[in-house]
Amino acid sequence: MSELYPIIKHIHLTSVTLSILFFIVRGAGMLFDAQWLQKKLIKVLPHIIDTILLISAIALTFAINQYPFQADWLSAKVVGLILYIVLGTVALKRGKTKAIRISAFVLALLCITYILSVAITHNATPWG
């Protein structure tokens, strides 16, 4: 493993934490129709955090020599991530009604739980 592995992992875990926290805060803002959601920083910061998260994730795959579609647990994380992104977009932007947005928000949180479980166990079916 690369000597940069601990640094990359730290950056990845920090950006995961920030991304999840920011999603939860924005979801709470959506629930209460908060006007601060329209501020430029609130709209831009998640993209910066998620870019760092993606770059660190790619760097980690090279550092550990395991790749999506080669390692089933990484493939599961990628599929879970895609589903999370779609649901998160519905929850925060595209949902036509509050009920749809809330449902998408809860499902996105479940996706996060699944992705974290897979990451911790390195198993595509962490409950089994």
Question: Are 81 and 126 part of one and the same domain?
Answer: yes
Both structure tokens of 90: 């519905």
Question: Are 43 and 78 part of one and the same domain?
Answer: no
Question: Are 32 and 83 part of one and the same domain?
Answer: no
Count of the separate structural domains present in the chain: 2
Question: Are 2 and 60 part of one and the same domain?
Answer: yes
Question: Are 59 and 106 part of one and the same domain?
Answer: no
Torsion angle of the four alpha carbons 51, 110, 30, 47, in this order, in degrees rounded to the nearest 10: 0
End-to-end CA distance of the chain: 29
The residues facing 68 across adjacent strands are: 71
Over residues 26-75, the pLDDT tens digits come to: 999 999 999 999 999 999 999 999 999 999 999 999 999 989 889 999 99
In whole angstroms, give the CA distance from residue 26 to residue 123: 30
User: Domain residues for 18?
Assistant: 1-65
Q: Provide the sign of the torsion angle of the four alpha carbons 12, 15, 21, 24, taken in this order.
A: negative
In whole angstroms, give the CA distance from residue 97 to residue 24: 19
Predicted structure pTM score: 0.91
pLDDT at residue 115 greater than cutoff 70: yes
